Amino acid sequence: MIKTSIPSYFAHRRSRLFEGFSKQKVDGAAVVLFSNQELTRNHDVHFLFRQDSSFYYLTGLDEPGSVCVLLSKEASSLSAAKNHETILFVAPKDEEKELWEGERYGVEGAMRVFGADRSYPLAELGQRLPELLSTANRLFYRLNRPHSEHEDRLMIEALEKCKKAQGRSGKALMTVEDPQIVIGEMRLFKAPEEIELMRRASKISAAAHNSLLREVKPGMNESQVEALIDFHFRKDGCERNAYPSIVAGGKNAACLHYRRNNEILRDGDILLVDAGGECDYYAADITRTIPVGAKFSGDQTKAYDLVLKTQKMAIEMVKPGVSMVQIHRAVSESLAEGCLQLGLFNGLQSSPADVVASGAIKRYYPHQTSHWLGMDVHDAGLYQLNGEPRLLEPGMVLTIEPGFYVQANNEQVAPGFRNIGIRIEDDILVVAGGYENFTLDAIKERAQIESERAKALK
């Protein structure tokens, strides 16, 4: 089904982008954004298509083979009150192709549905670009996106033609700047409609994780659990997964980006599931760790309680003015203190701060605590400003995901601690004075997990 209209916020975002340019005294800006392309899997079969997030953020257009050119008022022929002009290059209507591939918007739809001021067939891009860019002073275009050799060459040719058209001006090629910096800063601060979509993706994803508590059985394959998650996501309204699910039982849980998802789950092992669905291009990112059987073992319990206590402490820290670095330090120290108490540093007498400062904690906790979350699972936005860790502000969304991992070959710890991987991850919106936990519904209290598992396996 194709869209007949889109919400006004897409056009509003384009206006805000150019308001930002004028505030920064950037006159005559041109922005050129290419859509994602369809990638061939084999012969005439493609991989599942997903639009580039920034392209979708500013256009709402989910077709491959599209290019969006935005010209600031000074660089366009526009006389209207708008501060920019939107020009969309799209795949033109084609009865024969649409019979095979489905309906297209075409040049007319690009204007009627997506509000372009002008639209042309994609094939005319190379010929029209030099003129469109001829009055611009600054070009915002991202070089070297994946699979962008053709796009990059087209842009360089257009710039060369712009320069030639000026005759002997002594000028160089127009400077090319990455638009992802400005668009990323916009995407970092979530507007109400974005927050609503993230709440929906989170709710569906949390329910899927909760369903696993009742559905997982010893003897199942990890791939079957992955299929259950996909089923719940899709059935409840997520178009697709926000990222490939990690379904890791036993020793696999200690592998951070485990992707094979093809081993049998055994009673007594831990199952780590990192999976999130996507709603209209907005991601959820949830990790839960549960026993394959009805209960965690004694040592698994100690590790789980340590990670959960640490995760709750970290979530409580989230509020404007705090940085991810501060949260990560507190998480690392809490885990270090727990590991020292559990004797995991071979009887080492040391302070948690020293265990963190020396880097020793990385043996059990090698990753960061947080990343931005939004349209991309590792979302756009700068992590530092002027070389300093950025302070949280209302509207930002981040994950809080401490973990604890012990590989099979770690001879320094008691056997009961080996082959353990625990991670607990929630999605947190920063609000004035504190936070909102989008994924609060996903069960993580150990007593509740074990009572659900006991019911499921009786």
| Smallest separation (angstroms) from Mn ion to the CB of 237 | 21
Please enumerate in sequence order all residues whose Cβ is within 8 A of that of 51, keeping only pairs 6 or more positions apart, or say none. 35, 36, 61, 62, 63, 64, 281
Active site residue 378: yes
Q: Would residue 371 show up in a list of annotated catalytic residues for this protein?
A: yes
The smaller minimum CB distance to Mn ion, of residues 107 and 400, is found at 400
d(CA 171, CA 163): 7
Supply 102's token pair: 């489905």
Q: What residues from 80 to 119 belong to the interface with Mn ion (CB under 5 A)?
A: none
Burial 16-42 (b: 16+ CB within 10 A, else e): ebbeebeeeebebbbbbbbbbbeeeee
Say which of 367, 390, 418, 452 is annotated catalytic. 367
Indicate which residue of 52, 222, 278, 401 is catalytic: 401
Cα 296 vs. chain centroid, distance in angstroms? 31
CB of 401 to Mn ion, least distance (A): 5
140 forms beta bridges with 31, 177
β-strand partners of 381: none
Residues in 179-208 at the binding interface with Mn ion, rule: CB under 5 A: none
Confirm or reject binding of residue 54 to Mn ion (CB under 5 A): no
Q: 183 vs 242, which CB is nearer to Mn ion?
A: 242
Q: Which residue is nearest to Mn ion (CB)?
A: 285
Looking at 14, 187, 199, 423, which residue is catalytic? 423
Active site residue 147: no
Stretch that binds Mn ion, among 67-75, 172-180, 182-190, 285-293 (CB under 5 A): 285-293
What is the nearest approach in angstroms of Mn ion to the Cβ of residue 287?
7
CB of 378 to Mn ion, least distance (A): 8
Q: Is 178 a catalytic residue?
A: no
Q: How do 138-140 and 29-34 pair as beta strands?
A: parallel
435 is known as an active-site residue: no
Identify which of residues 194 and 285 has a Cβ nearer to Mn ion in the complex.
285
From the list 44-52, 194-202, 215-223, 277-285, the region that binds Mn ion by CB under 5 A is 277-285
274 is catalytic: yes
Establish if 379 lies at the interface with Mn ion (CB under 5 A).
no
Give whichever of 355 and 377 is closer to Mn ion, judged by the CB atom.
377
Nearest approach, Cβ of residue 383 and Mn ion (Å): 14
| Residue 81 burial (10 A CB sphere; 0-12, 13-18, 19+) | exposed
Nearer to Mn ion, 53 or 399 (CB): 399
Total residues in contact with Mn ion, by rule CB under 5 A = 2
Residue 426 found at the interface with Mn ion (CB under 5 A): no
- Active-site pick, 371, 427, 435, 450: 371
Residue 310 is a binding residue for Mn ion (CB under 5 A) = no
Residue 120 or residue 404: which is nearer to Mn ion going by CB?
404
What gap in Å lies between CA 128 and CA 107, rounded to an integer? Answer: 15
Q: Of these residues, 274, 278, 426, 427, which one is catalytic? A: 274
By the 8 A CB rule, do 393 and 320 touch?
yes
Binding piece for Mn ion, criterion CB under 5 A, among 57-65, 73-81, 283-291, 354-362: 283-291
Residue with tokens 């404007």: 320
Residue 168, Cβ neighbours under 10 Å: how many?
A: 5
Which region among 120-128, 221-229, 234-242, 394-402 touches Mn ion (by CB under 5 A)? 394-402
Give the CA count within 13 Å in the CB-facing half-sphere of 62.
13
Measured at the CA of 452, the angle between CA 249 and CA 287, to 5 degrees, comes to: 45
* Residue (252 or 399) nearer to Mn ion, CB: 399
Alpha helices by DSSP H, 246-297: none
CB 442 within 8 A of CB 276: no
Which of residues 54, 72, 399, 439 is near Mn ion by CB under 5 A?
399
Residue 300 near Mn ion by CB under 5 A: no
DSSP string, 147-190: T-HHHHHHHHHHHHHHHHHT-S----PPPEE-THHHHHHHHHS-
Say which of 405, 435, 450, 453 is annotated catalytic: 405
The catalytic residue among 101, 378, 393, 445 is 378
How far apart are alpha carbons 242 and 204 in whole angstroms?
Answer: 12
The answer to whether 64 touches 37, Cβ cutoff 8 Å, is yes
User: Which backbone phi and psi does 116 adopt, to 5 degrees?
Assistant: -70, 145
Helix (H, G, I), strand (E, B) or coil at 61: coil
280/285 with CB nearer Mn ion: 285
Q: Which stretch binds Mn ion (CB under 5 A): 14-22, 26-34, 108-116, 281-289?
A: 281-289
Active site residue 425: yes
**Is residue 285 within the footprint of Mn ion (CB under 5 A)?**
yes
Pairing of strands 397-400, 420-423: unpaired
The stretch among 226-234, 243-251, 395-403, 411-419 that binds Mn ion (CB under 5 A) is 395-403
Residues that bind Mn ion (CB under 5 A): 285, 399
Residues serving a catalytic function are: 44, 257, 274, 285, 367, 371, 378, 401, 405, 423, 425
